[in-house]
Structure 1
Amino acid sequence: AAQAPAWEPGTAHGYHPLTYGWLLDELVRRVTGRGAGEWIASEIAAPLGLDLWLGLPDSVAAEGRVGRAGRLPSAPEPTGGLRVRAKRSVTAAYDDPDSLTRRAFAAITPFPDQNDPAYRATALPATNGIATAGALARFYAALIGEVDGVRLLAPATMEAARAEESAGPDRTLVINTRFGLGYMLHGTASPLLGPGSFGHPGRGGPLGFADPDTATAFAYVTNGYRKTVTADPRAQSLVKALRSALSL
């Protein structure tokens, strides 16, 4: 909280791979008295019948249905410096132990084994949600319309979610990104279905989004980790096929 900003607020933007989740968790706790994992389980997953968890219950873990995730690439630990100079790619920036990119992604150091039962059981809102593709798509569908009597966002809130809040060179991801209020928006960094789509890619290749203009929700999940940060070619091939099926 005491750290000075890396740039003058309002002059640039950068992706927060981990810290954003803790900020949201605290908001949920102050409003509801429950952590984000507990709130999601009772207010979203249960009403919609979703195989979706933030903090995997022991009962589900015992069923053996959760795939093993690939290992994260290793990188040098930060030395305490801070470099915000431009890099040619996010990979080059990630490999620099003192870059803003590496410091942002190394907010949990050392990062735990993603397959460790203790990690899966912990509610870390920005990094360890576990879901099936069907559940994730159903969740996004409920953001933009009613699903079995449940709608998660009012129309005005949905429009606020997909309204652009920042765009341009991303100081963390070293590409041009567009963001709404927490959601990534359609753009060159992570093409979604169309200009009005909002959602987010996941570490290693997953992707989920909603497109109100076509009343479409989409999700792709994988345990086959790739080094891609945004536009994973596997997910993008499916998005391209979906776009073609909808004649867009």
Structure 2
Amino acid sequence: MVDVQGTVEDGFEPVRDAFVANFARRGERGAAVAVYRHGRKVVDLWGGTRDGDAGRHAADAAPWEAGTAQVIRSATKGIAAVVPLLLHQRGQLDLDAPVGTYWPEFKAAGKERVLVRHLLSHRAGLPVLDTPLTPDQAIDGVSGPAALAAQAPAWEPGTDHGYHAQTYSWLLGELVLRATGRTIGSWVADEIAGPLGLDLWIGLPAEAQSRVGRLAAVEPPAPPAASGLRVRPKQSVADAYADPGSLTSRAFAAISPAPDENAPEYRAAELPASAGVATARSLARCYAALIGPVDGRARLFAPATLTLARTEESAGLDRTLLVATRFGLGFMLHGPSSPLLAPGAFGHPGRGGALACADPESGLAFGYVTNGMQRNVTADARAQALLRAVSHVAG
């Protein structure tokens, strides 16, 4: 039996029950979940082992603690998207301007008409690189932007969408740098994490490295055996991922070989597509601040900016993920392949587990992090069980 720590307010006990059940039935190793409602924390839970590769039953495994943080993979994209939207809100970035307005070298290879909003809505046609970057090149701050400046689009920009799994890092990071003169990690630290008191980083500082648990790939429990005829499934993202020539595989392999996500240098890299580090508590608090005041602090998004974040820009079959996805400007929106808190919710999952999102109508904000990476891209069974519990309580 896993010792779950933390607190839940009266009425939110089903969230704790779901969290405990994730360890008992869904292969959880170590995790945390937090929920804010109308700017006030109502759930703050953690449990299991700090390191995913320690194993659930290792007697000598260090426990997950209240301040344990975790690499959140693509849930970083949602945090990163806050930056261009706030820059737009402040009049420092035009969402309808060509990217080349801020980044002149980007105009090459037929990309003159790529707009800033195309980057945020995965419509730029740049999910792959003809020559993948090495792990060292991916984090050097120069090679990624240079490769994308020279890269020709895979489709006519603005006409369709496909998830920019890795290239989002260099596209968004360079855009923010050119528009502000500051790296995206420093912008998040100074303008978001610092003022809100968040344990959240895009570019983990050396002094915080010891707080981060280790990621590990884990197999989810096998589903109950089904009786009757077995039907061969249609092609899925897993099938495409196994095909090295597919757009799906090439998008996720824009860094090749895959980097060591537990390495200090990877955690320290400012890769806004994949290398953010956060606690569940800070993810929930950040999203709560997007939709309303938190502890007396003014909300981050003005009403018009919040509308931009969750107004559909892309919808339908995703060229990369091969499922129907919906995106606003930088955020995933609620849909069959990525269920969130409610139809009007916005947020972002991380491949294999993490999830953060908010629903302005109910005033709910949710954050979940885990060190056990299971085989999923847009919807993790553990995160979904927690979301269902939160939604049921909120009624």
Q: Fold conserved (TM > 0.5)?
A: yes
Which amino acid in 1 is paired with 2:339? P
- 1:79 is matched with none
CA contact (8 A) 1:183 1:199 kept: yes
**1:144 is the counterpart of 2:291:** yes
- 1:179 is matched with 327
Alpha-carbon deviation of 1:202?
A: 0.5
Q: Higher RCO, 1 or 2 (CA under 8 Å, sep at least 6)?
A: 2
> With structure 2 as the length reference, what TM-score do the two structures score?
0.57
- 1:80 is matched with none
- 1:114 is matched with 261
Gaps of 5+ in 1: 74-86
Which amino acid in 2 is paired with 1:44? I
Q: Which has the larger radius of gyration?
A: 2
1:229 to 372, 377, 393: 377
- 1:162 is matched with 310
Alpha-carbon deviation of 1:111?
A: 1.8
- Which deviations, in whole Å up to 9, do the C-alpha atoms of 1:106-145 show, x marking residues without a partner? 1111121001111111111111000000000000011111
Distance (whole Å) between structure 1 residues aligned to residue 346 and residue 375 of structure 2: 22
- 2:184 is matched with 36
- Pick closer, same or farther for the CA change 1:200–1:154 going to 2, 3 Å: same
**1:128 is the counterpart of 2:266:** no
Which amino acid in 1 is paired with 2:287? Y
Identical columns (%): 65
- 1:218 is matched with 366
Distance (whole Å) between structure 1 residues aligned to residue 391 and residue 159 of structure 2: 35
Q: Which runs of 4+ in 1 moved over 6 A?
A: none
Alpha-carbon deviation of 1:31?
A: 2.5
Q: How large is the Cα RMSD of the aligned pairs?
A: 1.6
**1:197 is the counterpart of 2:331:** no
- Which deviations, in whole Å up to 9, do the C-alpha atoms of 1:167-206 show, x marking residues without a partner? 1111111111111011000000110011110001002111
Which amino acid in 1 is paired with 2:275? N
The secondary structure found in structure 1 opposite 2:370 is coil
- 2:196 is matched with 48
Alpha-carbon deviation of 1:9?
A: 3.8
- 1:65 is matched with 211
- 2:154 is matched with 6
> With structure 1 as the length reference, what TM-score do the two structures score?
0.89
How many residues are aligned here?
232
Distance (whole Å) between structure 1 residues aligned to residue 317 and residue 374 of structure 2: 23
Distance (whole Å) between structure 1 residues aligned to residue 156 and residue 265 of structure 2: 39
CA contact (8 A) 1:47 1:150 kept: no
Distance (whole Å) between structure 2 residues aligned to residue 120 and residue 71 of structure 1: 17
